[in-house]
Amino acid sequence: MTFGQIVVGPPGSGKTTYCTGMFQFLTSLGRDVAVINMDPANDSLPYACAVDLSELISLEDVMTHLRLGPNGGLVYCMEYLEKNFDWLKLKLDSVKDKYLLFDFPGQVELYTHHDSVKKLLDQLTAWDYRLTAVHLVDSHYCSDPGKFVAVLLSSLNTMLQLSLPHVNVLSKADLIEKQGKLAFNPDFYTDVLDLQYLLDMLQDDPLLQKYKKLNEALVGIVEDYSLVSFIPLSVEDKESMMRVLKSVDKCNGYVFGSVEDRSLEALMSCAVGAEFEYDKIKNVKEKYMDIDEEEDIIDEYS
């Protein structure tokens, strides 16, 4: 049995940075890790790559010889891989005893509409890989109600499409207010609380009033499924990296597997325990947000 993470998300969400940081973090804890590059367009890798899809097919070659654009080219590459699972199996057999990080491309349609990645994950599951999907989205979308609702929909769609244990991550938490001050406390966004508040903000925009029924329907879909929540992450922050790792290990069952060295066992001893909700966001508020200490932020949106 092989454990690992499938790292997905839109372009610029920090997937490669996450894989690099998680590789270094896990290595420091004593876990034997290998990174698998599944992006045929990623020709500049900051990490040591154990398996590289571009050895089988590259996006540049596809675009040149088949005259496809980048989006169509990526779809072709994933479909080509689907026809060559034997190549992938041979490559993965060389690292089957390691903990794997799969760095996937950033084309959202591959995880929301197209089924090539879904078929790949089904095949990996059939090969006895215990995987968790880590879906990264840029945290600065929290500052825009419309964009945040769109992020919720894409996250929900990805969860349903991939059909794997799933952890949603708000990446770049240290830049969470880069595009503007948040309207609500961070746990409103991480726990996806009552979206009526966001809906009210959307209705206040004169340009969006004509989309009132559409916005209500979109928000209703997210609330009806009630599946989406997020963990804030700053790759440079070891505490937030550990929080994500604990969630991932609980999802794929790694925490119940073989015992690692004592230092990691001690750090992970509380991995299956309860955690105060405030702990998920305290670093974000204390380190990365400009909050008036005298303001009662706990009841800000109640």
Q: CA dihedral in degrees (78, 167, 172, 41; nearest 10)?
A: -10
CA dist 69 to 38, 40, 63, 116, Å?
18, 14, 6, 18
Q: How confident is the model at residue 290 (pLDDT cuts 50, 70, 90)?
A: low
Rounded CA gap, 68 and 227, in Å? 36
More confident residue, 179 or 152: 152
User: Per-residue pLDDT for 106 more than 70?
Assistant: yes
For residue 177, the model assigns a pLDDT of 79
DSSP symbol at 222: H
Rounded CA gap, 71 and 69, in Å? 6
All residues at 6 or more sequence positions from 153 whose CB lies less than 8 Å from its CB, including other chains: 218, 221, 222
Average pLDDT for residues 125-132, to the nearest whole number?
Answer: 95
Rounded CA gap, 54 and 89, in Å? 15
User: Per-residue pLDDT for 123 more than 50?
Assistant: yes
pTM: 0.86
Closest C-alpha to 105, from 26, 13, 41: 41
Q: How confident is the model at residue 210 (pLDDT cuts 50, 70, 90)?
A: confident
Closest C-alpha to 62, from 48, 50, 88, 80: 80
More confident residue, 153 or 267: 153
User: Per-residue pLDDT for 71 more than 80?
Assistant: yes
**Quick one: tokens of 140?**
């600065």
User: Per-residue pLDDT for 230 more than 90?
Assistant: yes
Average pLDDT for residues 260-266, to the nearest whole number?
Answer: 46
DSSP symbol at 140: G
Q: How confident is the model at residue 175 (pLDDT cuts 50, 70, 90)?
A: confident
User: Per-residue pLDDT for 102 more than 90?
Assistant: yes
Tell me the pLDDT of the chain averaged across its residues.
Answer: 85
E strand or H helix that includes residue 161: helix 145-162
Task: For the chain, give the percent of residues with pLDDT over 90.
Answer: 57
Q: CA dihedral in degrees (187, 190, 196, 199; nearest 10)?
A: 120
Rounded CA gap, 40 and 43, in Å? 8
Lowest mean pLDDT among 81-95, 102-116, 126-140, 247-261: 247-261
More confident residue, 95 or 209: 95
The position carrying tokens 């990996």 is 124
CA dist 22 to 167, 224, 267, Å?
15, 33, 15
